[in-house]
Every structure is written in C-alpha cells, then in structure tokens.
C-alpha cells in the first residue's frame, strides 16, 4: 500500500485515494483464489497480463463478452449484502462466451461507487473472485472509481469483461442443426440478472422495501429479497464437459428477452424451436411475479428465464448421453422441445 500518495484537496472533494489502496489490499486474498497458469503479474499494475497456452489449438480465436448486473445491484444494496453480486457479473459474461464453445481465460471488473468503503468493495470483489473460480477464469485486474455526488454514497454499479479462447474449427456452428434435433434445458438458479426493473415494480420495492423480508409460503419460507438475490448460475464447466464428448449444435444463454429473444439466436433460418410449455420446470418465484403483477404468460416468457438458464440443441440420438453428462456435472437437465422446419424461430405451446 502506498504511504506517500495522499491528497487532502481531493479528499475534500469527496474522493479518498487512500481508501482505494486499502480496498486493493483487502481484495488481494480473493483475487489470489482465481490464479491459473496464464497469470503473469500481481494486481496493482496498469494492465492485467495473461500468457496464452496455445498447445493443441491450431487456429486460436479469442471470444469476449461484457455485461453488468442491471438493477439487481439495487437488491444487494437494499439487503446490505455484497458478496454474491460479483458472481452475477462474472456469470453474465462467461455464460455468453461459452455459447460458441469458448473456454474463459480471464476477467476484469469495474466498480463505480458513491463512496469507496474498502470493506464493501472487497466484499463485492470476493463475489467476483468466486464467479471466476466457478468458471475457471483468472481475475487479472479491474477498476474501482469513486464518483461523489454522481450517485449516493451507499450506491454502486458493477460491470465486467471476460475473454475466452476456442479453436476456430471447434466454434459451435448452428448450420449443422437439423429437423428433429432436441432442445435440452439447463435449470436456472432463479431470476438470474435480468428483469429486475419489472421485479421492483411488481413488488413495489422502491416504496415498500420491508415487504421483501417477509417469509413467503410460495417460496418455501424464503423471503422475496433472499430469492431475488440468489446468484446467477455459471454453466461453463458443465458445457465444456458436454462439448468435449458430443456434438452440440446450438447453445442459448437465457437472459433479457427470455425465451423469445434468446433461443432464436442459436437457430438458423428455415428452422424453429418448438418448446413444450408444460415441460418447463417453472420456479416458484416466477409464478409469484406473474400472480402479484398480473403479468401475462407471454410477457413472462419474453422477460425471464422461467427456470431455464440455458438451452442446448443436440441430435436426437445424443440426448441420453447429453443428459447423463450434464447431470453428472451437477445440472438439472431435461428435454423441453425439438427443432422443426419453420419460418418462426420459436413456438411455445
């Protein structure tokens, strides 16, 4: 930690640079958990360095993804619980890049806050580190920016950036998708990290936050707040295990836009996915959102993951093997539909 860099004038303007140094010291133990063979230096430099191991890769392709946690951050702030929201930041990035078959290499985070409270920042980064451990990515750097008077002191926002690698010949190609292929669902852990603006409206969170902490029978005795803050599930290791063993023809990460926006993204023209609505294991939180807010079913499927965090398309002859691999890697995986010839990319019935 620097003992020479200190500006009383900057502190009077609302930015305490020494708090930033303390936050870095506190987060180093969390970052250390994420180190892998590619890490070349310690946190604190001007850029994160990563050494690429290209053994066995003929034509390396780097795949990048960036995202944030949206207004789910508001839930973390309301609950004063900051050690899981970082998992969401990592998940939203690595779950995207795995859709083309890329293995995550490293991650960088960005935290903007009204006031830098080192212990809070370190808690946020502990979640980021946990997400990196779950996905096999190294946390090689990041940035914490104190923005006094731009946002209230207790508030912050969190975003991240991931880079992965895949051999060009192994990039998932939906051109191989065909009629009678099967759509497999990988269960979500909850609402994940999208649709929270609607959640806030439905549950009147901004005006009546105390209602969030009441135990709900519909949620097996958990509170709405606890359920909504459940971290986004990271699917990297199970998907990598799957594509290692069988041909996967398409993967969709079900985020904002729900089924209607995300499943079609992995389907080529001339084909469509028919989803059996009755087969979807809808989580209780989604039933509660729909009931409380009087939200039409189509809007629910067009906003939320409804209990399906990812969908995978495989040949019908590979279904049993795919399910076995996914379940052996801890996934609740099951069939939700099939591929047909259609001008409509998705049909839910």
Give one word for 279, left, alpha or beta, with left for phi > 0 and alpha for psi -120 to 50.
Answer: alpha
Residue 344, Cβ neighbours under 10 Å: how many? 11
Predicted local distance difference test score (pLDDT) of residue 7: 60
Round the average pLDDT of the chain to a whole number and report it.
Answer: 92
Tokens of 290: 């729909």
Q: Residues 234-249: pLDDT tens digits?
A: 999 999 999 999 999 9
- Report the distance separating Cα 322 and Cα 330, nearest Å: 13
Predicted local distance difference test score (pLDDT) of residue 15: 59
Q: Residues 318-338: pLDDT tens digits?
A: 999 999 999 999 999 999 999
pLDDT > 90: what percent of the chain? 81
Burial readout 68-97 (b: 16 or more C-beta within 10 A, e: otherwise): bbbbbbbbbbbbeebbbbbbbbbbbbbbbb
Q: Residues 174-186: pLDDT tens digits?
A: 999 999 999 999 9
Bridge partners, 61 (sequence order): 166
DSSP per-residue string spanning 123-139: HHHHHHHHHHHHHT-EE
Rounded mean pLDDT of 7-28?
A: 68
Provide CB contacts within 8 A for 132, sequence distance 6+.
33, 34, 90, 107, 138, 139
Predicted local distance difference test score (pLDDT) of residue 1: 47
E strand or H helix that includes residue 273: strand 271-275
Rounded mean pLDDT of 251-264?
A: 97
Answer yes or no: are the C-beta atoms of 96 and 137 closer than 8 Å.
Answer: no
Q: What is the pTM of this model?
A: 0.93
Answer yes or no: are the C-beta atoms of 274 and 180 closer than 8 Å.
Answer: no
pLDDT-derived band at 40, boundaries 50, 70, 90: confident
Answer yes or no: are the C-beta atoms of 178 and 342 closer than 8 Å.
Answer: no
Predicted local distance difference test score (pLDDT) of residue 11: 60
Least confident residue range of 45-49, 61-65, 305-309: 45-49
309-346-64-68 Cα dihedral, nearest 10 degrees: -50
- Report the distance separating Cα 42 and Cα 50, nearest Å: 11
Rounded mean pLDDT of 58-78?
A: 95
Q: What is the largest CA-CA distance in the chain?
A: 69
Helix runs in the chain, H state only:
8-12, 17-32, 72-79, 85-97, 118-135, 196-202, 224-228, 236-245, 258-262, 284-293, 297-301, 319-328
């Amino acid at each position: 930690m620097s003992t020479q860099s200190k500006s009383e004038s900057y502190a009077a303007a609302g930015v305490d640079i020494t708090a930033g140094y303390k936050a870095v010291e506190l987060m180093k133990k969390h970052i250390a958990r994420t180190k892998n063979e590619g890490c070349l230096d310690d946190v604190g430099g001007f850029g994160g360095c990563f050494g690429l191991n290209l053994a066995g890769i003929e034509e390396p392709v780097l795949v990048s993804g960036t995202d944030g946690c949206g207004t789910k951050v508001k839930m973390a702030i309301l609950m004063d619980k900051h050690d899981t929201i970082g998992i969401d930041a990592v998940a939203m990035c690595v779950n995207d890049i795995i859709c083309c078959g890329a293995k995550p290499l490293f991650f960088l985070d960005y935290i903007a806050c009204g006031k830098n409270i080192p212990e809070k920042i370190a808690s946020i980064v502990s979640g980021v580190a946990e997400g990196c451990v779950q996905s096999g990515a190294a946390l090689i750097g990041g940035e914490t920016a104190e923005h006094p008077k731009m946002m209230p002191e207790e508030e912050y926002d969190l975003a991240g950036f991931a880079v992965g690698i895949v051999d060009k010949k192994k990039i998932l190609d939906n051109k191989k998708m065909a009629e009678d292929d099967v759509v497999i669902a990988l269960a979500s852990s909850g609402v994940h990290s999208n649709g929270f603006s609607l959640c806030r409206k439905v549950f009147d969170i901004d005006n009546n936050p105390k209602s969030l902490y009441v135990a709900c029978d519909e949620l097996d005795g958990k509170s709405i707040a606890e359920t909504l803050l459940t971290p986004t599930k990271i699917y990297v290791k199970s998907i990598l295990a799957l594509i290692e063993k069988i041909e996967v023809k398409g993967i969709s990460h079900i985020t904002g836009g729900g089924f209607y926006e995300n499943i079609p993204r992995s389907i080529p023209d001339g084909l469509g996915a028919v989803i059996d609505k009755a087969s979807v294991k809808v989580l209780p939180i989604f039933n509660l959102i729909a009931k409380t807010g009087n939200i039409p079913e189509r809007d629910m499927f067009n906003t939320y993951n409804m209990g399906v965090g990812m969908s995978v398309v495989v040949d019908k002859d590979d279904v049993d093997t795919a399910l076995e691999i996914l379940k052996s890697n801890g996934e609740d995986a099951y069939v939700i539909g099939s591929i047909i010839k259609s001008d409509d990319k998705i049909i839910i019935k």
